Amino acid sequence: MLLRSSILVLVACSGCYLMHKPPADGGPDDWPGDSGKWRDAQTKADSGVDSGLDAGEDSGLDAGEPDSGGGCIVEPSTHPFDGPVPELIWSAEGLVFPLHTQVCMTPLVIETDRVPEGATIEPEVIFTSYSTDPEGEGGGVIRIVDPRTGETRVSIPSDPLDVQLVESTAHLAAGDLDSDGLPEIVAIESVFGSIAYHVDGTVMWESSEPSLANRGPQPFNKAISGAPSISDLDGDGQPEVLFGRVVVSGQDGTTLWNGDAGYGINGDVFGPINCTLDLEDDGIQEVVAGNTMYEGVDGTVRWEADVPDGWCAIGEVLDSSGGPEIALVASGRLYVLASQTGALLWEQVIPGGGNFLALGGAPTIADFDADGRAEIAMANGAHYVLIDPDCRGEPPPEGCLSDGVRWNQSTEDDSSASTGSSVFDFNGDGASEAVYNDEHFFRIYDGTSGTLLFQEPNSSRTRTEYPVIADVDGDGNAEIVFPANNEAWFLDIDPDDERYNAGIEIWGDAFDRWVGTRPIWNQHAYSIDNVDDRGGIPPRPAHGWTTHNSFRANRLGTREEELSASDLYLRLEYRCEGDRVVVTVTVRNLGVTRVLPPIRVAIYDGNPDDGGRFLGEVSTTIVLEGGQSEELTFVTRSPPDGVIYAIVDEDPDLPDGRERECNESNNRRRLRNVECP
């Protein structure tokens, strides 16, 4: 198991390595406050009774300071990718099915407990793990993992003698199917059929779909790397489950309809993967399975385009069609189809086919360059590519690489040439970044230029999987969750090379600069409006192409919400107990974003900027929502000069501390005239 050099602390837990953010050689910016200026706060309370404020002293809240959580935003960071670090590396050690360590599917992020309205959601990560025997084709075990502790809460099946395993590299989907406030998990079974589980691991239903006939036209297709999806197609409050061109009841698995045209399979190899949308705004959603749109209520073919079968995304990418378009990746080409008719509006060869498959991965849609218009990104066998309608023409417009292509970057995916990707605006500047993993590396690309912003060794045999972005630990910042596997012979990995793991990794920013996002990513065909934060499936989802205009991308909401931050503030009081000074340290969050414990408060005898003596520290123990505070106690002797200094969120290696705050200049406090007999 990998122990990267950037890791400082290893905390033992069952089946995981838990990584705390490490120190760095220095933060990305200079200290914004004046280290020679200290806010004064003195309250002396003899015998534990507050005697009030001395003349000229304040209460610990300066005039004009807010007294509860309020507007608090930060400017977008210009360098948010110099500090990604692993926060969790999962392993199956000590668990049931301990050899099922490999992961080659898109992980899910979803809350698996009932959360009261208004309470902070702290989701779990759900994925399928498989064993190396037989190589890459053994049945899979579903894991539900707490990303805050690394604990594997549930393994499905939980009995090591149970042979009811799911397809090892097929994706999962999760959502509340029975309106009980908890999500269910839908999986494709190894040979045929599907199964839905409650989050405690008990079976909800089994279905004979997708049958062999609905897994693709080739006899060898087993729904390898296919993806169920969940939508309330008829808007009745009872969601359906979809497998390409077949739909079953989300409540009992009864087959509702089978389509007879497109499958949603690329190159007759991987899939099916589909999309849904309410095209007519009538409360009835349509189903896009490859080159075919089906009516959601009965499976009637609305249109079948004269293009190959493939994988879809939905968004408004062309201004001329008068509605959303279907972006379809099929056999190495991008086809942009009119959603109303299936007419071909634009065809583009995807550069970098690589191998004989040259299929191309499932497309993403987002505004990559902050121009207010959406672009389409996808992987191919040897390139990751951004296709931009603004780049059409010969010669291509300025800033474009070639006709229709804004940029591409070399990658290596000779195995499947079908990997997906995801999108997120990590620093909140309006331009999205692309997140991708090929056979050897996990990467983040600048959306505007394609510049490689971050790269980390991470191996995969590759199917149709991709990393996901969500707030997995409830800290108000985005994290990246990605799968890892190292068993494929063609990867040519040295078994002693600790850079390459098997399992799941969660990465975050050591400097806390990645903006906030939603606590959910519930399926491969993820679209923001198709699921709520608790896993509920809306009966009439908003038209995503008119709100965020993205697909396989995540975001929190408005720019202000994404850039919201915390603001830590100190109040100091003291009382005497004999000759001991008992200091009450109140840490308060004046900002918007919650602050997770522990937050360190360092106590000094004398100004630390002038070599003051370190007395000790206290740390918060509870989550501080906006406006909330916690009282801590520190006991010492009277300082010789009668002054105690305190700094909240102090870290000698991070000038601004580990919390991203809208005001970094108010973290220091001094308590004067401290004297106990």
Domain layout of the chain by residue ranges: 35-72+566-671
| pLDDT of 417 | 77
Query: Residue 292 corresponds to which amino acid?
Result: T
Return the percentage of the chain with pLDDT > 90, whole number.
66
| pLDDT of 423 | 97
Of the two residues 382 and 142, the one the predictor is more confident about is: 142
Integer Cα distance of 215 and 206 in angstroms: 17
Query: Residue 552 corresponds to which amino acid?
Result: R
Confidence bin at 493 (pLDDT 50/70/90): confident
pLDDT of 358 higher than 90: no
Q: What is the DSSP letter of 217?
A: S
Give the distance from CA 219 to its chain's centroid: 36
Residue 202 makes CB contacts below 8 A (sequence gap 6+) with none
Greatest Cα-to-Cα distance within the chain, rounded to the nearest angstrom: 91
Integer Cα distance of 669 and 677 in angstroms: 23
Q: Token pair of 173, please?
A: 């989907």
- At the second CATH level, the architecture of 35-72+566-671 is Sandwich (2.60)
Which pairs from 298-304 meet CB under 8 Å and 24+ separation? 298/257, 299/245, 299/247, 299/256, 299/257, 299/258, 299/259, 299/260, 301/259, 301/260, 301/261, 302/342, 303/341, 303/342, 304/261, 304/262, 304/342
What backbone torsions phi and psi does residue 301 show, to the nearest 5 degrees? -70, 120
Among 124-133, 135-144, 176-185, 483-492, the least confident range:
135-144
Mean pLDDT of the chain: 86
pLDDT of 134 higher than 70: no
Of the two residues 562 and 444, the one the predictor is more confident about is: 444
Confidence bin at 163 (pLDDT 50/70/90): confident
